[in-house]
Structure 1
Amino acid sequence: MRNCLLIPGLAILLGGCVNLAPDYAQPIAPVPATWQGTTGTEGTMEEAADAIDWRSFFMDARLREVIALTLANNRDLRVAALNIEKARAQYRIQEASRYPALGVVAGGSVTRTPADQSSGNAAVIARNQSVQLGFSSYELDFFGRLKNLSAAALASYQFNVETQRSVQISLVAEVAGAWLTLAADNERLQLAANTLKSQQISFELSQRSHAIGSTSGLDLSTAQASVELAQVDLGTFTSQVQQDVNALNLLAGIAVPAYLLPDRIPGASAPLLAAPAGLSSALLLKRPDVLAAEQTLIAANADVGAARAAFFPSITLTAQGGTASSSLSGLFKAGSGAWSFLPSISVPIFNAGRNRAGLDAAKITKDIDIANYEKTIQVAFREVADALAQRATLDQRLGAQQRLVDASAKSYRLSEARYRSGIDSYLNSLVAERSWYGAQQNLISLRLVEQNNRINLYKAMGGGWSSS
């Protein structure tokens, strides 16, 4: 019995003597060491993005609360968390296969042998009872097949962990973008409402002037057309605002309370991250999507080792030890000990090239994963480069657009005064008002772009994760 119990321990010590997996080496990132062509940006926050919790990054309390609601209720994030639990369970299953599965089996049998088949010319009834402790078909992992399969399962688990982080980072940025889009469309809606009110007043004045003959029918029709155009814009933005709310509710996984919805773009929803010239692209290797792609590569590398092991002999052990007797009362008496030990070896000789095909498939999968890993880094590099390139001119564009709004407003006031004085036609006033209206709309759009750029730069640099 003691000898039988030593067999599992000896088998574990013998397992995993050789690992046939290739030595893993992280591929060289196929991107420049720094972001070229950018002069750098001075920011109000000097910390690395991946070290900044989203609660510290977003400055508007309403936005922070909306993000918290989303992280608690979003279904995509919930699925990502469940995938982690599933991968953890699958890893535990695969890891358990490296060890013997011990079990106790108790049984009994009764056999009757007829007289004509018995050596004593009399019917014989044989009874046997036994209690056995042992394991069955335990594979000695001499060539690391099970070890590599377990390593691949562990990498799959780590992949899901990094994927959840990536999903959260993307979700935080997406929610912030949707919230700001709603704020911008609310501003556009208010601007359209104010413009419609102004156009209605002008149209009423034109009607009275036309009634006394001081305004032509053309000016009256032009004023009416302006009212209808403003009415169309009002309906368009009213619909768009509701669609924005619906999109935000979908992301949040719950109806966002009205008091958390913005009515205009805040002055600064988030700080501007510092991005000095010569910023190293090595920071991309910390991004969770890059780390997830690398875990896929690590799993593929381990699968190559498991595929190589298929070319070598497979040794399995079955062993049992316990007690056996022809009667229940004699099961645990002295001299009733019984044991069995059944080693076996399977040597691959011919399988029509299946093992070679399996190894080829594993190597090709690894090459595919290397390409995917490199592509992930390239995409990440471009995201940061695009955000930095956009940031380089945003302040200049905002300043110019604000000056355009101010100049258009002045032009409209002068044109309106000239029209009221009878110097110019209503058409000149209308053109000036439409120019002012368009400039204000473009300013709202540009302010939205500027706020989104702050968030996109934070996301591209790996910010937005919180473990709590």
Structure 2
Amino acid sequence: MRKTITRIMIPVVLACVFLAGCGTLAPNYTRSAPPVPVSWPEGPAYPATALPAASPVLSEMAWRDFFSDEKLKALIGLALENNRDLRVAALNIERARAQYRIQRAELFPSVGASGEGSVSRLSESLSPAGKGETIDQYGVGVGLSSYELDFFGRVRSLKGRALEEFFATEEARRSAQITLVSEVARGYLVLAADRERLALARQTLTSHQATHDLTRRRFDVGVASALEVRQAQTSVDSTRVDIARYTGLVAEDENALSFLAGTSLRAELLPDAPVNSVTLLDEIPAGVPSEVLQRRPDILAAEHRLKGANANIGAARAAFFPRIALTASAGFASDDLLDLFGSGTGTWAFAPRIDIPIFTAGSLRARLKTSKIDREISLARYEGAIQSAFREVADALAQRGTVNDQLTAQQSLVEAAADSYRLSEARFSKGIDSFLNVLDSQRSLYGAQQNLISIRLFRLNNLVTLYRVLGGGAV
């Protein structure tokens, strides 16, 4: 029987030794072609997006170079230091690094030392000598326990999966940082715009109140009608509603910025000028899709998870093959503590173990199939992230290509509305036109001015969006 076992074990051990240098059983990873066009969309809505040879790549620029407004840069710096979501992302990296080290440690034997001692009393009925006795036992030793010989790459595949998860977590932190920077910039711009809207509403209220007072005096001397007085009052009241609404929005915007920054904000860090005075980098090189997609951290994270799923297939395949584990120890044992390291007290033990799957009711094949499906799911998510990123950039470029035309037209509309208001007011004062034309001109001018602020905000927000969707900038 012993000879039969020996004849079986020797070929198995030799085969395992031969296969030890074969790496893992994971399939070779090949990056698939991006499921998007090779160039950005073209047409009247899109600007020229070609990247000149000398243009800097956005991902190589520091965010401080992109956002040139000093107050905004100070706010972003506070957020990067204190934002709790970004802090969680950083801690997730440390956790993933620790998990990788745990998995990597299984490639090496775990060696430990131990010492023990015991004193026991043997009864007379159990003693071979027929009398009770005290037995002393002492021992020290070093050894390794259940060290798996990774001939088929199961442990290496699991280590590779943990490493890719660590890389994905690092990219997720970068993505969280880019999102945080863009959200702080967006919140700063919204606050500047709402403060400008509030100032405009207060200025308009002063004008409407003066018109109302004038109409009231004209009514008192019998020149204006009661209807005209009530019409003037509606303009005053509607503007007061806007003042109350924008006052609340400004407070909400400040709260949102404080939340993003993770701390209370000093008043000198908040915008105190119109939104179009906030300075950002106007020219952003869009590059070609393949370059953009390769530097976006969310896509890199999805690719690392795809690689991790690919490595997991290797671990599932290795489960079909024998697993060999070694347990060994060496040391000294004696019944006298003073003679523990004396002659003849040496001990050792060597216990190799092999586990060969014979019948598992299909569980191993099911695990392998599951790992392959997980890879396909990761591949679909990776390709979906690429397509989503392509659309985000294309949409932002379309907005960029048309926003300047909107801004020019709206500025012209404001000028025309202002002239119309002045002319209607002059004609009314001379009794040529009715007061209704004055009210209509007032409302048109006020609405045009509000829309101009919105378009200026939209233009700056588009630049922030381009910063984010093109992969952000370096720390």
Range into which the TM-score falls when normalised by the shorter chain: over 0.9
Secondary structure at 1:228's aligned position in 2? helix
Q: Is 1:267 aligned to residue 277 of structure 2?
A: yes
Task: Give the CA deviation at 1:116.
Answer: 5.2
Aligned counterpart for 2:35 among listed residues 24, 30, 35: 30
Counterpart pick for 1:404 among 413, 417, 420: 413
Give yes or no for the alignment of 1:175 onto 2:184: yes
1:330 is the counterpart of 2:339: yes
Query: Following TM superposition, by how much is the alpha carbon of 1:279 offset from its aligned partner in structure 2, in angstroms?
Result: 3.0
- Alignment coverage as a number of residue pairs: 455
AA of the residue aligned to 2:283: L
Q: Distance in 2 between matches of 1:261 and 1:112?
A: 82
By how many angstroms is 1:187 displaced?
0.8
Task: Report the counterpart of residue 48 of structure 2 in structure 1.
Answer: 40
In 2, are the aligned partners of 1:384 and 1:461 still within 8 Å (CA)? Answer: yes
Residue 93, structure 1, aligned to residue 102, structure 2: yes
- Is 1:373 aligned to 2:382, yes or no? yes
1:133 corresponds to 2:138: no
What is the DSSP-based 3-state SS (H/G/I as helix, E as strand, rest coil) of the residue aligned with 2:350?
strand
1:452 is matched with which residue: 445, 461, 467? 461
User: What do the CA deviations read for 1:363-404 (whole angstroms, capped 9, x no partner)?
Assistant: 111111111111111111111111111111111111111111
Give the corresponding residue for 1:316. Answer: 325
1:425–1:105: structure 2 CA closer, same or farther, 3 Å change rule?
Answer: same
* Aligned-residue offset at 1:120: 4.9
Change (3 A) 1:242 1:117: closer
1:52-109 Cα distance to aligned partner (Å, 9 max, x none)? 1111111110000010011111110000011111111111111112211111111134
Per-residue deviation, residues 299-340 of structure 1 (Å, max 9, x unmatched): 111111111111111111110011222212222123322111
| Matching residue's letter, 1:273 | E
Q: Does 1:57 align with 2:62?
A: no
Moved more, 329-338 or 412-421: 329-338
Flag structure 2 segments of 5+ consecutive residues without an equivalent: 1-15
Q: Which runs of 5+ in 1 are unaligned?
A: 1-10
Cα displacement string for residues 34-64 of structure 1 (whole angstroms, at most 9, x for unaligned residues) = 1021441599993111011111111110000
Once residues 232 and 263 of structure 2 are traced to their aligned partners in structure 1, the CA distance between those partners, rounded to angstroms, is 44
* Counterpart amino acid of residue 448 in structure 1: L
Q: Which amino acid aligns with 1:69?
A: L
Q: Quote how far apart the aligned CAs of 1:256 are.
A: 1.6
1:15 shift after superposition: 5.8
> AA paired with 2:168?
F
What is the aligned-residue identity percentage? 49
Match of 2:353 in 1: 344
User: Which moved further from structure 2: 239-248 or 44-53?
Assistant: 44-53
Cα deviation, residue 110, structure 1: 4.2
Instruction: Measure, in 1, the Cα distance between the counterparts of 2:239 and 2:119.
Output: 97
In structure 2, the CA distance between the partners of 1:187 and 1:164, relative to structure 1 (3 Å rule), is same
User: Is the contact made by 1:317 and 1:344 (CA closer than 8 Å) also made in structure 2?
Assistant: yes
Q: Which residue of 2 aligns with 1:3?
A: none
Q: Does the 8 A contact of 2:51 with 2:288 survive in 1?
A: no
- Residue 150, structure 1, aligned to residue 159, structure 2: yes
Go from structure 1 to structure 2 and tell me whether the alpha carbon gap of 1:41 and 1:440 turns closer, same or farther (over 3 Å shift): farther
Separation in 2, partners of 1:155, 1:25: 15
Q: Compared with structure 1, are the counterparts of its residues 345 and 279 closer, same or farther at alpha carbon in structure 2 (3 Å cutoff)?
A: closer
Deviation at 1:286, TM superposition (A): 1.0
Q: 2:312 aligns with which of 303, 307, 316?
A: 303
How big is the shift at 1:137?
1.1
> Helix, strand or coil for the counterpart of 1:40?
coil
